[in-house]
Structure 1
Amino acid sequence: MTRKFTTEDASATRRVVIASVAGNMLEWYDFFLYTTAAAMVLGSVFFPSDGHPLLGTVAALAGHAVGFAARPIGGLVFGHIGDRRGRRTALLATLSLMGGATFCMGLLPSYSSAGIVSPLLLVLLRVLQGAAAGGEWGGGVLIITENVPADRRGFLASFSSCGMGLGFVLSSLALWLAEQATGDAFRSWGWRLPFLASGVIFVVGLYIRRNLGETTGFEVKSAEGGTRSPLREVLRRHPRQVLFAMALRFADSGASYIFMSFSLVYGAYVGISSTVLLWAGIGGMLVDSVMMVVFGRLSDRVGRRPVYLGGAIGMVLWAVPFFLLMDTGQPAAVWLAFIVGHIAIAAMIGVQPSYFSELFSTRTRYSGMALGHELSSALAGGLSPVVATALLASTGHFLPVALLTIGMALVTLVALVFVADGRTEPATQETVAAKEDVGAPVA
């Protein structure tokens, strides 16, 4: 018999959601800060080039890709910790690693003063950021999904993705404010200020996370007995779910970083001011954050798959118009390009937390989600802005980049043909246990 959801439960749920959103926002501020700064300034500071003006940016974005390559490793490490020691323990560790790496980036010497040591240290710190990010997403999602009613899982879990979006907004605002405050000195030292501010953000985030309780799902799993090797179990019982999670991520991960990072490169290439680009990106991400919640709620009503499908199709249809609008150079057209693109992305990212958590059992959920999510992030999210910038440098046209975006969306569309809709059979303890007994997929 299902226990009635009380007023006390609702109050506890609100506290969990608010704490999760705030913690996610502060941690993803650090991660996205490098991505935006790489497109704006880090190329000239750490990777100077006397040749093509885009080569330094390509090198800085390659550092972005290296950070993404570390995300699956972080997902495995912190997924294991989260499944064995608790979601809260893993999240405290990811926050500490991320905050320390970002703060140290603000202290690095430039290439002109330290030579090759400078970019090597920057890449090392980006690897640490990537490892932390690899463990962050799954834990931030599970703090909510394992504490809320199944019939509201899509709506409430979407707030964890909203925290990611707000982290991007916060990092972009910080860079814009630093640029406005320091003027011509922004490229020499002003860019460091948002990185150094990470020290304050770390203290706030640590306070929030230390006051979070453990999830109900993990406590039940601990009482029943866990598994010594979550990774081995998830690969043995749920290999298809890991592959599905990877494929579902291709459209939103690839397109997100083309819209958030490469778009700054392309905008500068066609003569759009950095101020217009930053504010259009901020506006698009704010709309994205609101629409994530809308689509998450819609998925509770009509199912995860239809909403996700709409986002992937929207990505295919908008890939070319996005760049055509950018080519006009008109601020209103640039804003429209970002906003519509981010609405399509929101339909996928808003549904992702509940969709992915329903693919795996509680015993291995953190490891399974992190593995599928972060492998795809490394391939699609990490490489897409680097490949896109290289394509632009070699062809001078946006069409190859648009086709790249469409190709990644098609991978997701094919996967959606085969992935079950978790909302139709919520992954409660009872259904998971029954499926695990016969080795059936949890979906």
Structure 2
Amino acid sequence: MSAPAPRISRARLFTASLVGTSIEWYDYYIFGSAAALVFGSIYYSPEASPLAAQLAAYATFAVGFVARPLGAAVFGHLGDRFGRKATLVATLLLTGGSTFLVGLLPTYAAIGLTAPIVLLLLRLLQGFGVGGEWGGAVLIATEHASPRRRAIYGSFAQFGVPIGVLTSNLAFLAVGGLGEEDFMSWGWRIPFLLSILLVGVGFFVRTRLEDAPEFKKLREKRQVHRAPFAELVRRQPRNLILGSLAAIAPPAVGYTVMVYMLDYGTSVVGFERTTLQWLILTSAFVWMAAIALAAVAADRFGAKKVYAIGAVTAVLWPYPLFPMVNTESAGLAFTAFAVAAVVQGIMAGAQGGLFTEIFDVDVRYSGISIAYQLGGMVGGALTPIVLSTLWGTYQSATPLALWVAGLSLVSLITVFGLRTPERASAEPESATTR
């Protein structure tokens, strides 16, 4: 009989899960901020209209979401076959490296059409890496937890999202004081280049992780599949589909505030760019508090119930969100963003525990990664593009609110169909040696 694996402290799991996702989402959000503020004017033809250039920038941002489900499938396969630790190191290096290279990329004025093409390729690599990040970061924590504490442990990775928002906005605010000309010519590159230092920190932490006993037991019993995705589709197609739809609401609300509002708030409402960034940055603290409270509630009352409550708020809040920003009052805009942060936090606090519960351990990395990233592709990739198009067509905030609320309604309806077994940690009934 093998000796029991040494227990990893909660603090170590928290750090390993949090640091990596914070870096990954820092990288992702600085790209989103740059897409809203910079890329449209420097990486696309000056002959294009401002709206066309901005839509092209958002489309490049959206391509990363298209790559994320593919990354989720590939890294989910690797994580379910060979373990969570090595996969998490790979996603960190891939995402961080591509982000660093964006900071070195010449503009359209320097290399012409090559510039947007290379930007697109780097965005694809970034999205591909992020595709496998969230699932692994959640599992490295939740699979070390008891079933009754999984939402709290699953929330460790979720804190990385608002911290990524916080640090990315701080980075852009730090270079925003350079003046418009310096910011547009070279200042915006600094946050991208600094990401390589953060990758070093994440690499140090993650190479010292251990896979959870739950996964190690699978390997000892030779229950690891050669094709985890095929096994997932064969055995749990319902939860894969419904989980993907349930995952739409958080990014729909999140990217409305964190990406689209940077464009809408400046070009339509008339806020200063730095004012909006400070408001969004400050709301990230509210977001983190909401995640913590929701995770505790999810372990006490059930992750599915708490997530559904969050989805209800996601359906309702878009309607006052835009009118409050339209007042041009910084106080009302902050209130709008802070409540949106609570909306996201409720769902985020429950999501890690919920998605861990609904998939069997032998296909869990593939299941939660693909579901999360497919939802992100619909809710996150499409939202800035659709909102820009709707505003350009109707010049009204009502269609914008309807879009976000409609996506959230899909998540609200589908979350009730998820099947959460009584013992989420039970060994899969039909797993066989492959």
TM-score scaled to structure 1, two decimals? 0.93
Partner in structure 1 of residue 349 of structure 2: 350
2:179 and 2:326 mapped to 1: Cα distance? 30
**Alignment equivalent of 1:208, drawn from 205, 208, 223:** 205
SS class of match (2:129): helix
2:330 and 2:179 mapped to 1: Cα distance? 24
How far is 1:47 from its partner? 2.1
Structure 1 alignment gaps of length 5 or more: 1-7, 439-443
Partner in structure 1 of residue 37 of structure 2: 40
Partner in structure 1 of residue 296 of structure 2: 297
Partner in structure 2 of residue 236 of structure 1: 234
Q: Give the alignment of 1:34-433 within 5 angstroms.
A: 34-50=31-47, 52-181=49-178, 184-225=181-222, 226-268=224-266, 269-421=268-420, 425-428=422-425, 431-433=426-428
RMSD over equivalenced CA pairs, Å:
1.6
Whichever residue aligns with residue 230 of structure 1, its letter is P
How far is 1:52 from its partner? 4.2
Whichever residue aligns with residue 297 of structure 2, its letter is L
Is the 1:38–1:60 Cα contact (8 Å) retained in structure 2?
Answer: yes
How far is 1:230 from its partner? 0.3
Whichever residue aligns with residue 15 of structure 1, its letter is R
How far is 1:433 from its partner? 3.0
Matched-pair identity in %: 36
Is the 2:73–2:370 Cα contact (8 Å) retained in structure 1?
Answer: yes
Is the 2:258–2:280 Cα contact (8 Å) retained in structure 1?
Answer: yes
Is the 2:246–2:411 Cα contact (8 Å) retained in structure 1?
Answer: yes
1:231 and 1:101 mapped to 2: Cα distance? 27
How far is 1:216 from its partner? 2.0
1:70 and 1:377 mapped to 2: Cα distance? 11
How far is 1:53 from its partner? 2.9
Structure 2 alignment gaps of length 5 or more: 1-5
The farther-off stretch of 118-127 and 270-279 is: 270-279
1:312 and 1:50 mapped to 2: Cα distance? 42
How far is 1:50 from its partner? 4.5
CA distances 1:370-389 after superposition (whole Å, capped 9, x unpaired): 11111221122111111111
1:282 and 1:50 mapped to 2: Cα distance? 34
Whichever residue aligns with residue 230 of structure 2, its letter is R
Is the 2:260–2:387 Cα contact (8 Å) retained in structure 1?
Answer: yes
1:221 and 1:406 mapped to 2: Cα distance? 41
Partner in structure 1 of residue 18 of structure 2: 21
2:104 and 2:232 mapped to 1: Cα distance? 40
Is the 2:150–2:353 Cα contact (8 Å) retained in structure 1?
Answer: yes
1:64 and 1:327 mapped to 2: Cα distance? 25
Q: How many residues align?
A: 425
Whichever residue aligns with residue 40 of structure 1, its letter is L
Q: CA distance change for structure 1 residues 417 and 150 in 2, over 3 Å: closer, same or farther? A: closer
Whichever residue aligns with residue 390 of structure 1, its letter is T
1:199 and 1:22 mapped to 2: Cα distance? 14
1:49 and 1:357 mapped to 2: Cα distance? 47
Is the 1:250–1:409 Cα contact (8 Å) retained in structure 2?
Answer: yes
The farther-off stretch of 257-266 and 127-136 is: 257-266
How far is 1:286 from its partner? 2.1
How far is 1:330 from its partner? 0.7
Partner in structure 1 of residue 3 of structure 2: none
1:364 and 1:154 mapped to 2: Cα distance? 19
How far is 1:54 from its partner? 2.8
Partner in structure 2 of residue 441 of structure 1: none
SS class of match (1:373): helix
How far is 1:285 from its partner? 2.0
The farther-off stretch of 178-187 and 203-212 is: 178-187
How far is 1:48 from its partner? 4.4
SS class of match (2:164): helix
Is the 1:255–1:405 Cα contact (8 Å) retained in structure 2?
Answer: yes
How far is 1:236 from its partner? 0.3
